[in-house]
Structure 1
Amino acid sequence: MKDKYAALDVAFREAKQWLENLDQNPILNKADREELLNRLMVAMPEDGMPGEDVVRHLVDNCKDNLLGSPGGRFFAWVIGGGLPAALASDWLTSSWDQNAVLFACGAAVNVVEEVAGKWILELLDLPRESSFGFTTGCQLAHFTCLSAARYKVLKDLDWDVNQDGLCGAPQIGIFTSEHRHGSVDRAVRYLGLGNKCLHKIATDAKGRILKEEFAKKIQAYSGPKIVVLDAADLNIAAFDSFSELIPIAKEHNAWVHIDGAFGLFARASLRLKNFTAGIQQADSWATDAHKWLNVPFDCGIAIVKDRESHRNSMTIHAAYMPPHKTARDQIDWTPEWSRRARGVPVYAALKELGKKGVADLVERCCDHCAFFVAEMEKLPHTEIIWKPTLNQALIRFCDPEGNNSNDHDKYTQQVVRKVNESGEAFFSESKWDGNVVMRVSVVNWQTTKSDIERVVQAFKNVLH
């Protein structure tokens, strides 16, 4: 009898081979778009083909054009790999195929997600009464948290945004860092507030919002207010001074939201937790499990202290889907009507690592980043722009024959390109103080000291 699930066996063998070869394969994706289109953009077949052949077709046409971002030598963006238990449970989640929005649609995964959310609150030492929701990523986590914020600050002025919309509503002002992540801007647009409502605050030499300017701007604004603070910005992992800024925000009845896409996990480490002092006084927090928790993509986490505002901004009911009397229906906490049980890999990752394992992972990545920068500082033509305080660093390469900043910008781009093309590592460029820099980000559970030494050697080969 033919095995109707033979495609799963093919997928397992190919996936395992891909993962086992990450350390040997070049990191760089040298994909040529036209070549890929020629392979894949064929006429849609009139007749189908066996599932296992479909999987082989995808593997054959894609395997040599994949970026090695799940491996230990990828430092371009804040992207973790997939812990074995998290990856395996992600496969199970797809196989179980439960709609996680209602207890009635998937009782087991509903409870798994409820437990995972409570474990996250405990791990990050955030107010245990907080509500939470699992979203597609930090982008939608911001949207979810800021939806609750919008609901609350307008409700305090007797304006029901759910019923009355925004036309004629008091204008909300959003106060945030000049170095905020672009996902905050986009969330603000999604919410219909418009980017003109953003009040950008200058930062000090360490990337932190200036207290005096913040206090002055928030005091001068008479409308409803939302504050967005950074728990590790994308370039230098700068943490705003929560213990100083949040009390000022509260004096002016502002909702305080934290962008903690990866930096929020510093709270899992006793050694690093001091960076986040006072952060628990905020009203909401957004983070991304695919970063430092190393679960597969499609897993942001929105955490909101005000459960009522969170629920009222998200919930929906229909006659054909009555709510469960005691269960926590996930549709009340996220902006989706149907979705996969993305909290299951979070449960698995936390179960695999435990509290000590998460702390070790975070600290290990920070140590690897520090070691890498220390070794790079010994190389010629290398300028350390930002030494890591957490897991992020900035490096610039100075053209030995250059005369100006533009020459050094081009040389930096050239060095990054050559190292990436070697396949030994992958880095990305960024801009800092108007200059091109190489950004270093270490968050992968697989990165080892040997990986760092191997990457440093790649730079030596280019900079000799």
Structure 2
Amino acid sequence: MDELRHLFRRAADHAADYRLSLPERPVGVPVDQAVLNEAFAGPLPDAPTPPERVLAELVAAAEPGLVATAGPRYFGFVVGGASPAATAADMLAAGWDQIAFNAVTSPAAVAAETAAGTWLKELLGIPATASAGFVTGGQAANTAGLAAARHQVLADAGWDVERRGLTGAPAVRVFAGAERHATIDRSLRLLGLGTDALRPVPTGPQGAIDPDALAAALRDAGPGPSIVCLQAGNVNTGACDDLRRACDLVHRHGGWAHVDGAFGLWAAASPATRHLVDGLETADSWACDGHKWLNLPYDTAFAFCARPDVHAAAMSYAAAYLVGSGGAPAGADLTAESSRRARGFAVWAGLRELGRDGVAALVERCCALARRFADGLSAAGFEVVNDVVLNQVLVGFGDDARTDRVVAAVQTDGTCWAGGTTWRGRRLMRISVSNATTTEADVDRSVAAIARLAHGIGGELVH
């Protein structure tokens, strides 16, 4: 037992040392992947290896290939760094080694998810009667929401898709903005609806769906099973669809309104940004990530459904040997996983750590820092091409080739890390501010580094 305690403490010390290094650690450094692969490679040993030696070998092999995504100057994707309490709770979850299938396999895991799900719905303005499934990410959350949508729109057409499948079923039309997230398309593939079911709807100047175009598309499509995928937080610009008007249109045509709010749904948690997602409560299902703006550990996301019976009908199953299955929907009944990690402990801890005011402050601070980024880069002579309404900033550095060279230089430099994207036919740097530990000094340091690198690259700025 002393050996186990020592091993776990060593692992915790390594994790803490790494986290404490993040403020000054290079965010991303060039790595020879072949060399890194070789550090992990080699023949599987015949004899057992002492756990403490295994841990030391893992740390030595992994350290050169770690990217400081949890640090304050990582802006490449919409991800946050897991908060202290949430990280500690996740470490406990690993130690407790619970199966969050149902209240028989782990009463505590289900209780944590139930409590945290209630808090999440309060923060996001989702009806208290909605179900909350704890899933791995936006892909799983969108898939669960669209599975519920598929169930209901086909049931309304007199078709039991869970029993009869899709062969011979009425065709389901799926309307989504032209700038939807790619996980929507993959969800349709996974659910057997296929991407041919998509009816892309034009978007406005900032990438939000055009309500008039949506109204025309629904009208022209006529009667039939219809799902509409709306968006809170365009992946490039942060723009949000007019959810109130769009959901009203969908319901007047008898369809199902699903909201992909992977990061943008968190706008509802702050009085300063809540107007951007006005009407979200009128939707039928919602997808939202916790490892993005809420700064929870991977893999944490949520699939909410206004009709828990529909959610469970689309996702749950029962078997004689599964003691406790078939009751009130909970745990695995609301996800596509059975042997589930107890991720609800970290969610509960992260929400307790922040509180309602802390979540609102996190959203507001990241939005303010995104605006600071935009102002600083504009003042340095570069073009910010989007309206910075949330935490997303798009920057151009001249022609596409020059922009790509600037992005590559920033990623190699290590001061900060930002990614590239293509939006409206242009290559741009995409900056996402989502980390709770990012400060004004981090933004200013990053702006200075980007400007230094960009001005050192040949080419002419285009405004």
TM above 0.5:
yes
Q: Say if 2:111 is the partner of 1:106.
A: no
Which residue in 1 is equivalent to 2:59? Answer: 59
Which residue in 2 is equivalent to 1:246? Answer: 247
Q: Deviations over 1:294-347 (max 9, x none)?
A: 001111100000111111111111112232797753122111111111111111
Aligned amino acid, residue 358 of structure 1: V
Against the structure 1 CA distance between its residues 247 and 299, is the aligned structure 2 distance closer, same or farther, given a 3 Å change threshold?
same
Which residue in 2 is equivalent to 1:229? Answer: 230
3-state SS, counterpart of residue 132 of structure 1: strand
Moved more, 172-181 or 314-323: 314-323
Which residue in 1 is equivalent to 2:212? Answer: 212
Which residue in 1 is equivalent to 2:411? Answer: 420
* Structure 1 Cα separation of the partners of residues 182 and 228 of structure 2: 15
The within-5 A match list for 1:124-273 is: 124-221=124-221, 222-273=223-274
Kindly indicate whether the alpha-carbon contact (under 8 Å) linking 2:318 and 2:325 is maintained by their aligned counterparts in 1. no
Aligned amino acid, residue 15 of structure 1: A
Which residue in 1 is equivalent to 2:459? Answer: none
Q: Say if 2:47 is the partner of 1:47.
A: yes
The within-5 A match list for 1:323-362 is: 323=324, 329-362=330-363
Kindly indicate whether the alpha-carbon contact (under 8 Å) linking 1:283 and 1:304 is maintained by their aligned counterparts in 2. yes
Which residue in 2 is equivalent to 1:401? Answer: none
Report the identity percentage. 37
Q: Deviations over 1:234-286 (max 9, x none)?
A: 00011111122111111110000000000001100011000011111100000
Q: Deviations over 1:143-162 (max 9, x none)?
A: 11111110000111110011
* Structure 1 Cα separation of the partners of residues 177 and 263 of structure 2: 17
Kindly indicate whether the alpha-carbon contact (under 8 Å) linking 1:110 and 1:328 is maintained by their aligned counterparts in 2. no
Which residue in 1 is equivalent to 2:422? Answer: 431
* Structure 2 Cα separation of the partners of residues 101 and 324 of structure 1: 9
Which residue in 1 is equivalent to 2:38? Answer: 38
Q: How many residues align?
A: 454
* Structure 1 Cα separation of the partners of residues 29 and 9 of structure 2: 26
Offset, 1:463? 3.5
Offset, 1:70? 0.2
Moved more, 430-439 or 327-336: 327-336
Offset, 1:196? 0.2
Query: Structure 1: which 4+ aligned runs deviate by more than 6 Å?
Result: 324-327
Aligned amino acid, residue 119 of structure 1: W
Aligned amino acid, residue 69 of structure 1: T
Kindly indicate whether the alpha-carbon contact (under 8 Å) linking 1:103 and 1:327 is maintained by their aligned counterparts in 2. no
* Structure 2 Cα separation of the partners of residues 2 and 340 of structure 1: 26
Kindly indicate whether the alpha-carbon contact (under 8 Å) linking 1:114 and 1:328 is maintained by their aligned counterparts in 2. no
* Structure 2 Cα separation of the partners of residues 442 and 77 of structure 1: 8
Q: Say if 2:450 is the partner of 1:449.
A: no
Question: Which consecutive unaligned segments of at least 5 residues does structure 2 have?
Answer: 456-463
* Structure 2 Cα separation of the partners of residues 178 and 239 of structure 1: 13
* Structure 1 Cα separation of the partners of residues 63 and 174 of structure 2: 44
* Structure 1 Cα separation of the partners of residues 176 and 437 of structure 2: 34
| RMSD, aligned α-carbons | 1.4
* Structure 2 Cα separation of the partners of residues 444 and 291 of structure 1: 8
3-state SS, counterpart of residue 3 of structure 1: helix
Offset, 1:220? 2.1
Kindly indicate whether the alpha-carbon contact (under 8 Å) linking 1:215 and 1:248 is maintained by their aligned counterparts in 2. yes
Which residue in 1 is equivalent to 2:458? Answer: none
Which residue in 2 is equivalent to 1:405? Answer: none
Kindly indicate whether the alpha-carbon contact (under 8 Å) linking 1:10 and 1:56 is maintained by their aligned counterparts in 2. no
Which residue in 2 is equivalent to 1:119? Answer: 119
Q: Deviations over 1:396-417 (max 9, x none)?
A: 002xxxxxxxxx1111111122
* Structure 1 Cα separation of the partners of residues 370 and 80 of structure 2: 14
Aligned amino acid, residue 257 of structure 2: V
* Structure 1 Cα separation of the partners of residues 340 and 413 of structure 2: 40
Aligned amino acid, residue 104 of structure 1: V
Aligned amino acid, residue 61 of structure 1: A
